[in-house]
């Protein structure tokens, strides 16, 4: 059971502004296996959402464009597919849930209508069959009064309820890959706990692969099997979740983990990472983290480190773990 559902290789995504290309993703690599939850973490602005939008090729209304690399879904390169074929995949084989469910639910359509439309289209069922399937799906995400809810509008629901409906919509066609971009960030903790529990159950049941994007390391620790840490449009570390928390390598990962205040931990002063994420127009030369890194060496400011294998399942791109040396420019 080592089948990769998704393989992202050297993905580069750009945006055009004033006839200039701004590189947002600068070579992203990762893969997700069947039934696996892969966490994608990093500060805001590090390119997590753009990664998910690139996989879905949802750039409409923006100047975004995949410039390089491949995204292979069961062996098919999504970057080569046209819009019509992508539409066939979206909602059926690959589904997505967003942070703010209101932006992805149509405010003027009843919940039932929105659900059955995509079911009818993708599963080729009759109106009656798809209504039954929709109700079944709503019940499976823990909505008791599913029949009533079919006739309600999104604004009549609470935030937690809307996110459940979003998950129901995403899961209705039993996708093989679910991309969840900050699915619980806008929710209260008790509701977040419900939604995370629900995602776990659905994953167990259908063996869905999940790409879970979040900035909350608590959610990562709770949910994920493997974690990819992103910084400035690149993967800087990848490891098994237990390994990552027990033995983080990259100074950025360490900084993130140490910044989290933990209940029961009586530290007077919290660790933090100085400075800010660099903007894509103002990328430093060399290691992108160097201006904020307390371990930065001279070569860090000049050359970008390559991704190194630490153990069989632990990768990190930092000069501290480099296997080969580079010559520094004489200044």
Partner 1 sequence: MQSSSLVKQDAIVVKHAKYSPVREFWRAFKKQKAALVASIFIVLLIVIAFVGPYIVPYDPFEPDYNAILQTPSAKHLAGTDEYGRDIFSRLIVGSKISLTVSFSAVFLGLILGTILGLISGYFGGWIDKIIMRTCDVLFSFPDLLLAIAIVAILGPGINNVIIAVMVFSIPSFARLVRGATLNAKENVYVEAAKSMGASHVRIMYKHIFPETISELIIFVTMRVGTAILAASSLSFLGLGASPEMPEWGVMLSSGRDYLGTATHVVLMPGIAIFLTVLAFNLIGDGLRDVLDPKIKNN
Partner 2 sequence: MQNKLLQVKNLKKQFQVAGGMFEKKEFVNAVIDVSFEIKEGTTFSLVGESGCGKSTTGRLITRLIDPTSGSITLNGNEVGYLKQSELGDLRETVQMIFQDPYASLNPRMKVKEIIEEPLIIHTKLSKGERENLVLEMLNIVGLNTEYANRYAHEFSGGQRQRIGIARALITKPKLIIADEPVSALDVSIQSQILNLLKKLQQEYQLSYLFISHDLSVVEHISNEIGVMYLGSIVEIATKEALFVNPLHPYTKALIASVPVADPLLRRKKETLKGDIPNPKNPPTGCTFHTRCPIAQELCKLEVPKMRQITEQQSVACHFVEKIEEV
Ligand X SMILES: Nc1ncnc2c1ncn2[C@@H]1O[C@H](COP(=O)(O)OP(=O)(O)O)[C@@H](O)[C@H]1O
Residues 6+ apart with CB under 8 A from 196: 184, 219, 222, 223
When binding is defined by CB under 6 A, the residue of 8, 30, 41, 47 that contacts ligand X is 47
Binding mask 227-256 for Mg ion (x = CB under 5 A): ------------------------------
- Is 31 or 49 the residue whose CB approaches Mg ion more closely? 49
- Applying CB under 6 A, the span of 48-56, 72-80, 160-168, 201-209 interacting with ligand X comes to 48-56
Q: Give the pairing of strands 226-231 and 234-240.
A: antiparallel
Closest CA to 172 of 116, 107, 89: 116
Binding mask 218-257 for partner 2 (x = CB under 8 A): xxxxx-x----------------xx--xx--------xxx
Q: Which does 253 bind (CB under 5 to 8 A by kind): Mg ion, partner 2, ligand X, none?
A: none
Q: In sequence order, which ranges of the chain are alpha helices (DSSP H)?
A: 48-56, 83-89, 101-104, 111-123, 127-140, 146-149, 159-171, 189-206, 217-223, 241-246, 251-259
Instruction: Tell me, by CB under 8 A, how many residues bind partner 2.
Output: 46
Pick out residues in 235-294 that bind ligand SF4 (CB under 6 A). 250-251, 287, 289-290, 293
Strands ordered across the beta sheet of 65-73: 20-33, 4-17, 65-73, 76-77
Closest CA to 71 of 44, 97, 53, 87: 53
Cα torsion angle, 178, 182, 185, 189, sign: positive
When binding is defined by CB under 6 A, the residue of 46, 54, 163, 192 that contacts ligand X is 46
- Is 109 or 328 the residue whose CB approaches ligand SF4 more closely? 328
Pick out residues in 236-295 that bind partner 1 (CB under 8 A). 269, 272, 274-276, 278, 282, 291-292
Rule CB under 6 A: which residues touch ligand SF4?
250-251, 287, 289-290, 293, 295-297, 300, 305, 318-320
């Amino acid at each position: 059971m080592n089948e990769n559902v998704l393989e992202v290789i050297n993905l580069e995504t750009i945006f055009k502004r004033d006839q200039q290309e701004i590189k947002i993703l600068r070579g992203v690599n990762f893969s997700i296996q069947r039934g696996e939850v892969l966490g994608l973490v990093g500060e805001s602005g590090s390119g997590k959402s753009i990664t998910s939008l690139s996989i879905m090729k949802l750039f409409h209304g923006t100047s975004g464009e995949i410039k390089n690399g491949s995204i292979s879904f069961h062996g098919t390169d999504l970057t080569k597919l046209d819009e019509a074929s992508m539409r066939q995949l979206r909602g059926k084989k690959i589904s997505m849930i967003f942070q703010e469910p209101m932006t992805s639910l149509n405010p003027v359509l009843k919940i039932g209508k929105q659900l059955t439309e995509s079911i009818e289209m993708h599963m080729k069922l009759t109106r009656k069959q798809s209504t039954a399937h929709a109700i079944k799906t709503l019940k499976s995400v823990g909505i008791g009064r599913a029949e009533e809810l079919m006739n309600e509008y999104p604004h009549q629901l609470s935030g937690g309820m809307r996110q459940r409906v979003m998950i129901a919509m995403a899961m209705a066609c039993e996708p093989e890959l679910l991309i969840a971009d900050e699915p619980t960030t806008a929710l209260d903790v008790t509701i977040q706990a419900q939604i995370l529990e629900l995602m776990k159950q659905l994953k167990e049941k259908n063996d869905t692969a999940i790409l879970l994007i979040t900035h909350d390391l608590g959610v990562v620790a709770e949910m994920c099997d493997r974690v990819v840490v992103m910084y400035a449009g690149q993967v800087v570390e990848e490891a098994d979740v237990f390994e990552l928390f027990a033995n983080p390598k990259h100074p950025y990962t360490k900084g993130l983990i140490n910044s989290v205040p933990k209940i029961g931990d009586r530290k007077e002063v919290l660790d933090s990472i100085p400075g800010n994420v660099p903007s894509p127009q103002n990328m430093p030369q060399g290691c992108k983290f160097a201006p904020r890194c307390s371990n930065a060496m001279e070569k860090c400011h000049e050359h970008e480190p390559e991704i190194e294998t630490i153990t069989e399942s632990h990768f990190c791109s930092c000069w501290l773990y480099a296997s080969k040396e580079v010559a520094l420019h004489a200044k």
